[in-house]
Amino acid sequence: MQEISQKKKVLYSAVQPSGDLTIGNYLGAIKNWVALQEEYECFYAMADMHSITVRQNPATLRQKTLELAALYIACGVNPEKCTLYVQSTVPCHAELTWVLNTFTYVGEMERMTQFKDKSSKHADNINMGLMDYPVLMAADILLYQADVVPVGVDQKQHLEITRDIANRFNNIYSPTFKVPEPIIMKVGAKINSLQEPEKKMSKSDTNVNASVFLSDDRDAVMRKFKRAVTDSQTSVRFDPTQKPGVSNLLTIYSVFSGKTIEEAERDFEGKGYGDFKLAVGEVVADALAPIQAEQKRLLADKGYLNEVLTAGASQAYRAARKTLAKVYRKVGFYQLDK
């Protein structure tokens, strides 16, 4: 369990345990968490309360939540240094969401890009939770007084509304919430589909060749990269406007290999797309293999995972309830005599 220090700045981030995670989730979020865990006091959640805004199979959601916990650790998130917990095990998230709802306008939520996207994808289930999702996310972040929130580009708008809600509350009452800053990496914060390279790679894409999942075996990884859409030219050059497919592959290669985009371009000077795709597939498959093996090993030790999540829940609760108590006092909720 991490020692809560007064000096370190606080970092908060989370991933939804619904669906299979893609290399986009890894490069846009989890990989950076590992690098940041030394510098910050980190809270990493499995956002299962977010997941139920879209219908889930209960047994699958429970299993995926555990798999996600194992994945965080397998990717290098150290439970001795960070607080790892399941969102629904800390009741403060739902409680703060209710209060923050009264500081959020319906029009703001209707304008959220992800709400509009998800509403069109799930037209039969445009529930209040789907619309309220950014407020729950704001509650997640604000409960822990987070200074920074590492996310991919697609979550930027939710971070902006979090800042707006925090400022609004702070201005009406007095400074209560830290106003968080997003951390969005220059390279890797938007990994695109291998089939439609102008679109984000997504867990829920119906085209199986569009996304590389963290659970894909070497054959699947190689096959998907081999089929990746490029262009009719021949040069491996980074140019997202003219060459979105090649640029996306260069980005993936660069982040997985630890090389800069320029170094990556140099690696493929004079080489054809066939060799290039093969090399990208290899660097990804090589990186995923040890993560998959470690995740499998961890999942065989449910007792250990449960210990981590139990400790994480109480550590997270201790931090969250302080903020919640402050908020309840400020809005005028009755305080019982102790």
Binding site for ligand TYM (CB under 6 A): 12-16, 24-25, 27-29, 47, 50, 137, 140-141, 149, 151-152, 154-155, 189-191, 200-201
- Dihedral class, residue 336 (left if φ above 0, else alpha if ψ from -120 to 50, else beta): beta
Q: Which is nearer to ligand TYM, 86 or 191 (CB)?
A: 191
Catalytic-labelled residue, pool 200, 224, 243, 277: 200
* In the complex, minimum distance from the CB of residue 234 to ligand TYM, in angstroms, rounded to a whole number: 27
**203 is known as an active-site residue:** yes
Indicate if 31 belongs to the active site.
Answer: no
Q: Given the complex with ligand TYM, which of 129 and 235 has the nearer CB atom? A: 129
Reported as type and span, the H/E element at residue 144 is none
Q: Is 200 a catalytic residue?
A: yes
Question: Rounded distance, CA 313 to CA 301, Å?
Answer: 19
How far is residue 90's CA from residue 208's CA, in Å, rounded to a whole number?
35
Is residue 86 classed as helix, strand or coil in its secondary structure?
strand
Residue nearest ligand TYM by beta-carbon distance: 28
Catalytic residue among 118, 178, 190, 243: 118
Closer residue to ligand TYM, CB minimum distance, 203 or 259: 203
User: Which of 8, 81, 156, 203 does the annotation list as catalytic?
Assistant: 203
Q: Choose between 14 and 166: whose C-beta lies nearer to ligand TYM.
A: 14
| 116 alpha-carbon distance from chain centroid | 19
| Residue closer to ligand TYM (CB basis): 48 or 265 | 48
To the nearest whole angstrom, how small is the minimum distance from the Cβ of residue 271 to ligand TYM? 26
Q: Is 220 exposed, middle or buried (0-12, 13-18, 19+ CB in 10 A)?
A: middle
What length is written for the chain? Answer: 338
* Cβ burial 121-140 (10 Å sphere, 16+ → b, else e): eeeeeeeebbbbbbbbbbbb
Please report how close the Cβ of residue 17 comes to ligand TYM at its closest, in angstroms: 8
Give DSSP secondary structure letters for 247-288.
HHHHHHHHHHHT--HHHHHHHTTT--HHHHHHHHHHHHHHHH
Question: What residues act catalytically?
Answer: 118, 200, 203
